[in-house]
């Protein structure tokens, strides 16, 4: 059990896939046996573009994993930073993690899944202030 946990729009709470995503997945699964593997880049999430097939399969497993029980068992300090407009790991998933980890600090920040690029100083200062 680590003493500190810092999460930035982390996976770990299962979410329902939007209908549009379900359609993309079904379409790709239909086209895959026909030899259309080359168009994979059109179907994958922006943060997975450029990954090898093996790395992408690992990425999907991590994104779809449910860590609610692990979060509930965690006894250290936790800082959670989230993009308010994040659609990959929506704000409500961060709020849920914050409610599960007792004594955690939750920081909803302006931006999407890559909110940390424009909030790096605040995040860094917060971590240094908290961790010491």
DSSP 4-42: EEEEES---S--PPPHHHHHHHHHHHHHGGGT-GGGHHH
Of residues 96 and 29, the one with the higher pLDDT is: 96
Of 46-55, 78-87, 118-127, the one with minimum mean pLDDT is: 46-55
- 33-41 LR contacts (CB < 8 Å, sep 24+): none
The pLDDT tens digits of the residues spanning 102-115 come to 999 999 999 999 99
pLDDT higher than threshold 80 for residue 46 = no
The pLDDT tens digits of the residues spanning 51-103 come to 787 887 787 777 778 999 999 999 999 999 999 999 889 999 999 999 999 99
Sequence spans of domains, the chain: 4-15+67-131, 19-63
Looking at residue 38, what is its pLDDT? 64
Tell the CATH superfamily of the 4-15+67-131 domain: Alpha/Beta hydrolase fold, catalytic domain (3.40.50.1820)
Looking at residue 65, what is its pLDDT? 87
């Amino acid at each position: 059990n680590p003493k500190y946990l810092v999460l930035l729009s982390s996976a770990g709470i299962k979410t329902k896939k939007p209908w549009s995503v379900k359609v993309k997945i079904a379409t790709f699964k239909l086209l895959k046996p026909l030899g259309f593997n080359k168009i994979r880049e059109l179907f994958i999430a922006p943060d997975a573009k450029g990954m090898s097939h093996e790395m992408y399969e690992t990425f999907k497993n991590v994104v779809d994993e449910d860590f609610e029980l692990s979060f509930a068992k965690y006894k250290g300090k936790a800082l959670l930073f989230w993009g308010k407009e994040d659609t990959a790991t929506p704000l409500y998933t961060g709020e849920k993690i914050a409610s599960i980890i007792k004594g955690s600090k939750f920081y909803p920040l302006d931006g999407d899944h890559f909110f940390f690029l424009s909030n790096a100083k605040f995040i860094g200062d917060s971590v240094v202030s908290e961790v010491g």
